[in-house]
């Protein structure tokens, strides 16, 4: 209410004339005809250049949203998690045993100690062996037991959940999309227990 009251008062040393003028030239300030001519041609129609601009702006905005969505999708992978040095050899048997399919997810691709499976709807399951101990793991942490492994959730969003198996070494991270079913985590748990050593929980 204070700002509204101030807006209704005009300082005494300002003119209330509605016409804006350039005091040095004494000429009212009006929009030049040049800018108008750039918008409309001689027949009063919108100029091609102006129409092209109107089309280009929404296209650029859409492209920006698509790029953002793609980049945001990449953040669901496990590549950004810190690695535990010297685990490549220990991870090798586990990586070699990974199946071509995990439930409804196929089209497996492997890069180093990371693997990915894709579903027809575009969702993916990610596995990475040799990640570092999760920083948030503590005596008060709630763990999920799936058969022979205990999993600690490090990230949980609407798009999916990231788990780390914390009672075997090296640590294995698993990223599951929402509604992925139990098959992927069950199969990965079995392989972890078969090919990686059991280890005590490192609760600090």
Query: For each of the chain's 204 residues, which pLDDT tens digit applies?
Result: 444 333 333 334 433 344 443 444 444 444 444 455 556 666 666 677 766 666 666 545 444 433 333 333 444 468 899 999 999 999 999 999 999 999 999 999 999 999 999 999 999 999 999 999 999 999 999 999 999 999 999 988 768 999 999 999 999 999 999 889 999 999 999 999 999 999 999 998
Split into its structural domains, the chain has a count of 2
Cα 37 from chain centre: 44
In a domain, 1, yes or no: no
**Domain shared by 47 and 101, yes or no:** no
Give the start-end residues of each E strand in the chain.
Answer: 21-22, 27-28, 106-111, 114-118, 124-131, 144-146, 149-157, 160-165, 168-169, 171-177, 197-198
**Domain shared by 141 and 189, yes or no:** yes
Q: What does the alpha-carbon distance between residue 88 and residue 75 come to, in Å, rounded to a whole number?
A: 23
In a domain, 59, yes or no: yes
**Domain shared by 46 and 103, yes or no:** no
**Domain shared by 98 and 194, yes or no:** yes
In a domain, 25, yes or no: yes
**Domain shared by 134 and 101, yes or no:** yes
**Domain shared by 105 and 186, yes or no:** yes
**Domain shared by 29 and 98, yes or no:** no
**Domain shared by 138 and 190, yes or no:** yes
Show the domain range for 179.
Answer: 88-198
**Domain shared by 99 and 130, yes or no:** yes
In a domain, 203, yes or no: no
**Domain shared by 174 and 107, yes or no:** yes
Burial of 148 (0-12, 13-18, 19+ CB in 10 A): middle
Q: Is the pTM of this model over 0.75?
A: no
């Amino acid at each position: 209410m204070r700002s509204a009251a101030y807006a209704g008062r005009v300082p005494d040393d300002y003119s209330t004339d509605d016409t804006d003028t350039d005091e040095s030239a004494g000429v009212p300030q009006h929009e030049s005809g040049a800018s108008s001519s750039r918008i409309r041609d001689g027949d009063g129609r919108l100029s091609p250049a102006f129409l092209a601009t109107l089309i280009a702006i929404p296209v650029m905005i859409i492209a920006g949203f698509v790029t953002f969505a793609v980049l945001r999708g990449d953040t669901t992978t496990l590549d950004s998690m810190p690695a535990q040095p010297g685990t490549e050899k220990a991870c090798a048997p586990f990586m070699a045993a990974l199946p071509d399919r995990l439930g409804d997810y196929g089209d497996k691709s492997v890069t180093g100690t990371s693997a990915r499976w894709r579903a027809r709807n575009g969702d993916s399951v990610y596995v990475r062996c040799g990640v570092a101990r999760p920083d948030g793991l503590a005596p008060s942490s709630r763990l999920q037991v799936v058969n022979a492994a205990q999993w600690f959730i490090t990230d949980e969003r609407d798009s999916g959940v990231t788990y780390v198996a914390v009672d075997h070494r090296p640590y294995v991270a698993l990223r599951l999309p929402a509604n992925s079913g139990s098959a992927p985590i069950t199969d990965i748990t079995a392989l972890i227990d078969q090919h990686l050593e059991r280890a005590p929980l490192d609760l600090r």
